[in-house]
Structure 1
Amino acid sequence: MIAAVAAPLGVVSLGIAVVAVIALVTVLVLLGRQRAQVRQANELVEISRELRHRYDALQSVTKEGVLVQSLGGHVLDISERAAAILGVDASTSVGLRVANLPMVLVNEQGLAMNPAAVLGHSGLPARGGQESELVGVALPGALGTPPRMVQVSSQLVPGADGESAAVLTTLVDVTGRREVEAALTRSEMQFRVAMENAPIGMALVDLDWRIVEANAAFAELLGTSVGALRGYLMEDLSTPEERAAERLEVDRLLGGGQHRFSLEKRYQRADDHLVWVVLDTALVRTPAGDPDHFVVQVRDSTESRLQAEMLTHRAMHDPLTGLANRTLLQEVLQSVLEQPGVVDRVAVLACDLDGFKEINDRYGHAAGDEVLVHVAGVLRAATARRGTVSRLGGDEFVVVVQDPDGPRAVFEVATAIHAALHEPVRVARRRLTVAASIGIALASPDLIEGGAPSLLAAADAALYRAKGAGRGRTEVYEPSMEQATTAGVHRELIAAIEHDQLVVHYQPIVDLTDLQVVGYEALVRWQHPHRGLLLPGAFLSSIQEAGLSVPLGQLVATQVVDFVAHTSDQTRWVSVNVSADQLGDGEFATTLLAEISRHRVAPGRIVVELTESSLVASGTRIRHELTQLSAAGVPILLDDFGTGVSPLSYLRDLPVAGVKLDMSFTSGIPEDPTAGRVARALGALARELAMVTIAEGIENEQQADYLHRNGWRYGQGWLFGGAQPGESIP
């Protein structure tokens, strides 16, 4: 019984145990699952934290702002960058509706926009999608500040169930980029406007030296259109002989040898005419330093080139006749002489007109100019392209003859000149006769060795001999003529000054009341060692040509002051002739005043006679020196009174103490009534101005008496004696 009862109880206990085990296992399984879920949840939380950390880190470095909002329009999250772009506070914006955020959005035209519409999900596709829009964010309180331009992109973010759960909006501040783009656009527009309206030609050229773009000025310069220039090779615009030089400069530019280049060259227009241009080219490189394109400017230099050539021509040619001048002549002759085999192929012909001064004096300079132009034509025709014809100045011409047979050719030229000048020159209604003296120098080894100056001096020596022998002659240079050359005369004059060969003679000046001598005029003479005593007419012009006027004036001043200081009659005075070219540098005035001081000569005993008064202008250095002399007690007389351009103005402007009547008026008295009336009027004028009056050139008593009766106090001339050496005067 017990056994029977025990068996069922065992079964029950086993069942309970099994149930308990199963329950325990179930509990353990459930606990395991729970632990796994907790662990998974913790892992998800950790992952979420890591993702958030990465998200925040990403937002801190990105330039894009992120705004997350619910489908209902509430802000779920906003990055600091997005808050800064929109001008809101990130911490207080979460949970607010987007429409309630404190911001103002405008479109590109400046009109207000609905933030919810701009940042919301209306209009977006149901499945994701992305729309981009440019809006302006006007910050509150920033009146007058332009809106910040923001690129807005929104898209729907799906949830776990595949349905849309939120709206993700990215915001990019493009204000700076827009400003840069606007600046670039503005710069490009300004460059294009400047290029299109530039007054000089401009073009953009690719690396193949082909025109990409050109402006209207460039097209107009070349006589074509802008469209026709596009794609045209720059080098094809040049003349063939100039292309190699241009290509060389371009290659140097591309090779880095230079940054820009400039060339003056010729371009061929569409009408085949050539124009001179200045081509300025610069190479534009990429930011990496690689060549990108060329910018060229083309300036029309035709006019400036012609002006330069004209100025050069003027500098090398005589303005009256158009012949070569002295500078060009010497260059031509020197270059010819430097060529091999010039002996018997080159000759120089010097030509000087006879009687030309008389034509100028009688008919005026205008008539003289017409004669010079005529003679220039004669010389051109006579030379017949066998050399260079030049005018050195005045009536002096030189021809450089170049011919295989130089001696024969130069004599043919000389003969043709004489023959052509036999015909009178027509000037207005007059027929004027003019002849020429000619000197010829043939190129010899000795003359060639001295160069162009030697050959010209030889021709001048032959000319000097021809003029001395008579009119209309031709002489050929020979060594014996050396002393007769202008250069030789100049050397003689320098030696004459150094060796005291220039001496002073004194012509008396008398008081016309009692004919007593009151003073003298100092007149220079040349005591030539071979030619005897020479009067001023034989050498004064050479003195001026040699530039010896100032040394001569100093020499005369020294001799005159010494003479005055040692004369027995201390009441007489001496006048010294001074020309305008002896004044101006202070040397004459300084020497004269120093000598007066050294010899202690009383004021008024040395008088200066101003000659060539037409060369003096008030306010010049000459006037200053005359004033200085007058203030030091040296009276100034105006010589040749009654002649010149405007002598009356000198009485007003210069410190003049007296006047000397020109002998041309004295010589007409008494036969010429007009000369007498002029002398009387000039005397009255001088007396009215309280000036000393001296009449020169008196040769007879009638002249002396007439002048004295008409107000001239002092007289000078052959009637009262000629000039004498100082030692002959008591």
Structure 2
Amino acid sequence: MAQIPSGPAWFAAAVVVAALCLVLVVLWWRARVAAGRLGADRVTAAQARARLEAVLSAGREGLVVHSPAGVVLEVNAAAAAAMGVSRSEVVGRRLTDLPVTWVNDDGEQVAVAAVFARRPPPAPGDLGAYSVGLVQRGGSAPHWVQPATSELADEQGTPQLVTTFTDMTGPREVRAALARSELQFRAAMENAPIGMALMDPQWCLEEVNPAFAVLLGTVPEALVGRDLSSFSHPEDRAAERRAVGRLLSGHDERFTLDKRYLRADGSTVWVSLDVVLVRCPDGRPDHFVTQVTDVTELRTQAEMLAHRAAHDPLTGLANRLLMQAVLQKAVELPDAVGRVAVIVVDLDEFKQINDRYGHAAGDAVLTHVAGVLRAATGSRGTVARLGGDEFVVVIHEGDAARAGFEVAAGIHRGLRTPVRVERTRLQVRASVGVAVADHDLVQQGPMALLAAADAAVYRAKAGGRSRTEVYDASMAEPDGAPPEGSGTELGGAIEHGQLVLHYQPVVELASGRVVGHEALVRWQHPVHGLLMPGEFLDAAGQAGLGGALGSAVVRQAVAHLVRGATPGWVSVNLSAQQLSDPDLVEGVLAEVGRHGIEPGRLVVELTEAGLEPDGPVRHGLTRLRAAGVPVLLDDFGTGVWPLSYLRDMPVDGVKLDMSFTAGIPADPAAEQVSRALAALAQQMELATVAEGVETEAQALVLQEAGWVHGQGWWFGEGRSEPVTGL
């Protein structure tokens, strides 16, 4: 049996064994700790890799990690998608082998080294930094990017390069769109036919186009920096500044203003000023955008049309409508008694001048008389021509009676000078009637004052003509002998068949073919000879003979149709007052039915307004149309007929008032109005007839303007052949 060492030797051996065990335990512990640390590092590395993968997948910018030798080490999903490949297809390949082509703005290929060269990232929003187009193999449109490359080192210190690609396709498209918009704006502004300008919040011009400068008679450079209101007409400047102030204060978003500007040469131009205020995002005013349209010609035409609506086209004097308005206003003034007078001037034997020397001579006489009346009246009143050879002067002055005498005397003096017509000197005389407003006449209204002056004219004519009579109350009382054209005498004329009809042809302008006639009533007076309608129609109305007169005219017209004396249809003139009489309408229907007149052969011309479309007149017209009697509106375009009548009244056609025809072709406004009225009538499928055609030129212009039929002196005595060249 072995002997166990004892003493110091045993102890030493035990110490050695213990030490060895301790060393083994320490080594084992360290191994375990190292293994734990390795596992933790592996977990951390996996987590980091996962985070990197997430970053690479989620990033919107393309990212390529590559070695200095040009080998792709990593690429994110955005970069791979831009190149049209998966990430696994790119990693490990050289940059020069990537499946893309790089191009510049001109479409030229760019070297790969230039794309991935070291370059700092551009400042945010720097659209001008270096950019290239990435074109996929087989692709067409480039995907534009801004490359930026920086150097990094891995854990071992090995250098690596990271290139990011910022997407520039959207910003470039926006920039291109802005550029196109700016180019289009510049092109539109430079070539616009109307004036355009940009102005600062102080209303000073920052930029103007050539049309704006031309409108003001200068060049664009001379306008920049100027206050636009400095060019404004002094009377319009305040309105312009108020409108601008309302924009700046936020009361309005834009304004349109018709106003005047003074051109560089001192002349005036009318414009339509259209202004919009553009504000900054915070609401502060930034600039004004202004359009300026030259409306001088349109305004001139409008003024001409307004003047034509209120003035006689031959003489330029006020017409009946304007005269009535002036007289109405004067009589309504509180001081009208003794301060208002009406003078009626009727030329003596004017019909003989027309018959012997022609209408041109008659027009020359009327124009001369208009000048005489203007000179005699001066600034004391308004001179008007009511039609034919009848003129009226309305005076409003402190002593109207004295003024009336002086004006009448001046008229007679002025008419002593003969009128020169070609080689002929014509002596013209006139009968003048004066009526001064008194309490009774003022209470009866303006038409009573006009009627009083008419009565004075009649007394002047009865007393030997070429003289002046002043109205007094005795002129309103019967004196035992019925005056010329009075109701009593006219009633006898109707009963004894003294009314006769003259038939004026209506022709088709395109061919000159006669398609109808207008029946014009005359009074064959046993003493005074043939009287025109103006000499007895008023008396018929005042005596209540309108219905009897109308019935007599219709009977004669129907008899004319039965005889077949003229081709086509025959029209008769009936007033609204006459057509409101159911007995007259019944009489017309009875005549048509008794003689079997074909529909459309008898036509009614409605010659005056004054009754509502929904009243008896509408009922009468409706019955006539139902019986085959068409209805024409006479004096179309003069303002007597509201345009609503075309819609509300049962009418079949319109007749252009001769005042428009008289202005053709010398007056462009008359031609434009006649063209517009023809277009309106055609749009409503109405028949069209132009009255007062006296020359071939008028016929040509009217037919080209859209009028189908015409009537007047040219188609009667004026020519014997059809109109040519139509």
Q: State if a TM-score over 0.5 links the two structures.
A: yes
Equivalent position amino acid for 1:9 in 2? A
Q: CA deviation at 1:540?
A: 5.7
Q: Which moved more, 1:219-228 or 1:394-403?
A: 219-228
Offset at residue 441 of structure 1 (A) = 0.9
Per the normalisation by structure 2, the TM-score is 0.67
- Residue aligning to 1:595: 594
Pick aligned residue for 1:318 from 312, 320, 326 = 312
Is 1:298–2:292 an aligned residue pair?
yes
2:645 pairs with 1:645: no
What residue in structure 2 maps to residue 91 of structure 1? Answer: 88
Pairwise CA distance, 1:264: 0.2
Contact 2:56–2:75 (CA<8 Å) still a contact in 1? no
- Counterpart amino acid of residue 645 in structure 1: E
Q: Paired residue for 1:514? A: none
| Partner residue in 2 for 1:475 | 469
Question: Contact conserved, 1:525 with 1:536, CA < 8 A, in 2?
Answer: no
User: Which of 456, 459, 463 pairs up with 1:465?
Assistant: 459
- 2:69 corresponds, among 65, 72, 75, to 72
User: Corresponding residue for 2:676?
Assistant: none
Q: Which residue matches 1:107?
A: 104
Is the CA contact (8 Å cut-off) linking 1:502 and 1:525 kept in structure 2?
Answer: no
CA deviation after TM superposition for structure 1 residue 579, in Å? 11
C-alpha offsets along residues 234-266 of structure 1, whole Å, 9 cap, x if unaligned?
Answer: 333323443332233334334554432210011
Structure 1 residues 109, 18: closer, same or farther in 2, change over 3 A?
same
What's the counterpart of residue 621 of structure 2?
none
1:67–1:82 contact (8 Å) kept in structure 2: yes
The alpha-carbon deviation at position 191 of structure 1 amounts to 0.5
Cα distance in 2 for residues equivalent to 1:21 and 1:137: 69
SS at match of 1:502: helix
User: Separation in 1 of the partners of 2:716 and 2:591?
Assistant: 27
C-alpha contact 2:59 2:76 (8 A) present in aligned 1: no
- How far off is 1:335 after superposition? 2.5
Match of 1:378 in 2: 372
Structure 1 residue aligned with 2:144: 149
8 Å contact from structure 2 (residues 522, 532) kept in 1 = no
Structure 2 counterpart of 1:582: 572
Question: 1:52 maps to what in 2?
Answer: 49
In the TM superposition, what are the counterparts of 1:559-708 in structure 2 within 5 Å? 582=572, 591-596=590-595, 645=717
Contact 2:558–2:592 (CA under 8 A) maintained in structure 1: no
**1:308 and 2:380 matched:** no
Q: In the alignment, is the contact (CA less than 8 A) between 2:116 and 2:147 conserved in 1?
A: no
**Does the C-alpha gap of structure 1 residues 483 and 20 become closer, same or farther in structure 2, counting only changes over 3 Å?**
farther
Q: What are the residue-to-residue correspondences of 1:278-427 with 2, within 5 Å?
A: 278-285=272-279, 291-427=285-421
Q: 1:44 Cα shift?
A: 3.8
**Partner Cα distance (1:212, 1:556) in 2:** 73
For 1:157-187, what per-residue CA distance to the aligned partner results, in whole angstroms no more than 9, with x for missing partners?
A: 12346552x1111123322221221111101
Does structure 2 conserve the Cα–Cα contact (< 8 Å) formed by 1:550 and 1:581? no
User: Do the aligned partners of residues 454 and 70 (structure 1) sit closer, same or farther apart at CA in structure 2, a change above 3 Å counting?
Assistant: same
Aligned partner letter, 1:134: S
Paired with 2:547 and 2:74, the residues of 1 have a C-alpha distance of 106
TM-score, normalising length: structure 1: 0.67
Single out whichever of 175-184 and 248-257 deviates more from structure 2: 248-257
Corresponding position of 1:502: 494
Residues 115 and 132 of structure 2 are in contact (CA less than 8 Å); yes or no, is this contact kept in structure 1? no
Distance, in Å, in 1 between the alignment partners of 2:23 and 2:296 is 116
**Which stretch has the larger CA shift, 59-68 or 382-391?**
59-68
Contact 1:223 1:269 in 2 (8 A): yes
Q: CA deviation at 1:492?
A: 6.6
Q: Which residue of 2 aligns with 1:436?
A: 430
1:88-114 residue CA offsets vs partner (Å, 9 max, x unmatched):
221222222222222222222222233
Task: Report the secondary structure of 2:131's partner residue.
Answer: strand
SS in 2 for 1:284: strand
Contact between 1:561 and 1:595, CA under 8 Å: does it hold in 2? no
Contact 1:557/1:591 (8 A) holds in 2: no
* Structure 2 partner of 1:665: none
Partner Cα distance (1:369, 1:491) in 2:
26
Structure 1 residue 202 displacement after superposition: 0.3
Matched, 1:226 2:226: no
> Cα–Cα, structure 1 residues 444 and 256, in superposed 2: closer, same or farther, change >3 Å?
same
Unaligned residue ranges in structure 2 (runs of 5+): 121-127, 500-520, 598-656, 658-686, 691-714
Structure-1 residue corresponding to 2:153: 158
Q: Deviations over 1:49-78 (max 9, x none)?
A: 333333333344432111112222222211
Q: Work out the CA distance in 2 between the residues paired with 1:242 and 1:432.
A: 50
CA RMSD of aligned residues (A): 4.4
Asked if the contact 2:435/2:456 (under 8 Å) is kept, the reply is yes
Distance 1:421 1:109, change over 3 A: closer
> Relative to structure 1, is the Cα distance of residues 147 and 470 closer, same or farther in structure 2, using a 3 angstrom cutoff?
same
More deviation, 78-87/360-369:
360-369
User: What's the secondary structure of 2:132's corresponding residue?
Assistant: strand
Unmatched segments (≥5 aa) in structure 1 = 126-130, 508-523, 563-572, 599-614, 623-642, 651-730
SS of the counterpart of 1:112? Answer: coil
Q: Secondary structure at the match of 2:181?
A: helix
**Which residue identity is paired with 1:200?**
I
1:554 is matched with which residue?
A: 551
The amino acid across from 2:132 in the alignment is V
- TM-fit CA distance, 1:203: 0.9
Equivalent pair of 1:558/1:595 in contact (CA under 8 Å): no
AA aligned to 2:717 is V
Q: Is residue 236 from structure 1 mapped to residue 230 from structure 2 by the alignment?
A: yes
The partner residue of 1:447 within 438, 441, 458 is 441
Q: Structure 1 residues 26 and 303, CA, compared in 2 at 3 Å: closer, same or farther?
A: same
Superposition deviation, residue 6 in structure 1: 6.5
Q: Cα gap change, 1:103/1:484 in structure 2, threshold over 3 Å: closer, same or farther?
A: farther
CA contact (8 A) 2:119 2:148 kept: no
Larger radius of gyration between Structure 1 and Structure 2: 1
**What letter corresponds to residue 112 of structure 1 in structure 2?**
Q
How big is each residue's C-alpha offset from its partner over 1:549-581, in whole Å with a ceiling of 9 and x where there is no partner? 89636347769999xxxxxxxxxx9999x9965
| Matched AA of 1:157 | L
Cα distance change on mapping 1:149 and 1:188 into 2, 3 Å: same
Secondary structure (helix, strand or coil) at the match of 2:236 reads helix
Given that 1:447 and 1:455 are in contact with CA atoms closer than 8 Å, whether structure 2 keeps it comes out as yes
- Seen in structure 2, the aligned counterparts of structure 1 residues 206 and 75 have a Cα distance that, compared at 3 Å, is same
What is the distance in 1 between the residues matched to 2:432 and 2:129?
101
- Per-residue deviation, 1:278: 0.5
* Residue correspondences, number: 559
Distance 1:284 1:85 in 2: 40
Q: Contact 2:67–2:73 at 8 Å: present in 1 too?
A: yes
484 and 8 in structure 1: CA distance in 2 versus 1, 3 angstrom threshold: farther
Cα distance, 1:106–1:431 mapped onto 2, change above 3 Å: closer
Q: Which amino acid aligns with 1:154?
A: T
User: CA distance change for structure 1 residues 256 and 411 in 2, over 3 Å: closer, same or farther?
Assistant: same
Task: Tell me how far 1:539 sits from its aligned partner.
Answer: 8.0
User: 1:208 offset after TM fit, Å?
Assistant: 3.1
